[in-house]
Amino acid sequence: MYIKANDTVEIICGEDRGVKGKVLAVKVAAGKVVVEGVNKAYKHVKRSQKNPQGGRLSRELPLQMSNVQLVCDKCARGVRVGARFLDDGRKERFCKKCGKGLGEISPPKAAYAKKKEAKASAKK
């Protein structure tokens, strides 16, 4: 799952198809995301100290993660996302269409760092 909170995503199916929004929360165990302004429903609440007015509150409900695509800044639309290791061993997300990096997933790991000395000796 390469979608994180505060990412911009595009809805690819359902009644909100084509809408772009910011991810408010990711529910990994359920495989769902909550997107700002999408999949809204009303919840009827009674008056209380927390809600002194009461009435109908509009709130966003979770969507299946398979129904959203991450938006690439360079492509300006929803794209497929992959993961790759950089030369120093960091793992990052990238756009499969243009190849632009979309943020780091994990810190550097020595096992995945490319050995510069091995490359230099192979060339000789």
| Confidence (pLDDT) at 116 | 66
Instruction: Give domain limits for the chain.
Output: 8-123
Taking only the tens place, the pLDDT of each residue in 70-99 is 999 898 888 888 989 888 888 899 998 888
Q: Which residues, other chains included, contact 20 with Cβ-Cβ below 8 Å and sequence gap of 6+?
A: 8, 9, 10, 11, 71
- Overall average pLDDT of the 12-19 stretch: 92
Q: Which CATH class is domain 8-123?
A: mainly beta
Residue range 29-61, pLDDT digits in tens = 999 999 999 999 999 999 999 889 889 989 999
Token digits for 11? 């809805």
Q: What is the DSSP letter of 41?
A: E
Contact (CB, 8 A) for 67 and 43: no
What pLDDT score does 118 carry? 54
pLDDT at 46: 92
Distances (CA, A) of 51 to 40, 43, 114: 19, 12, 57
- Position 1 pLDDT exceeds 80: no
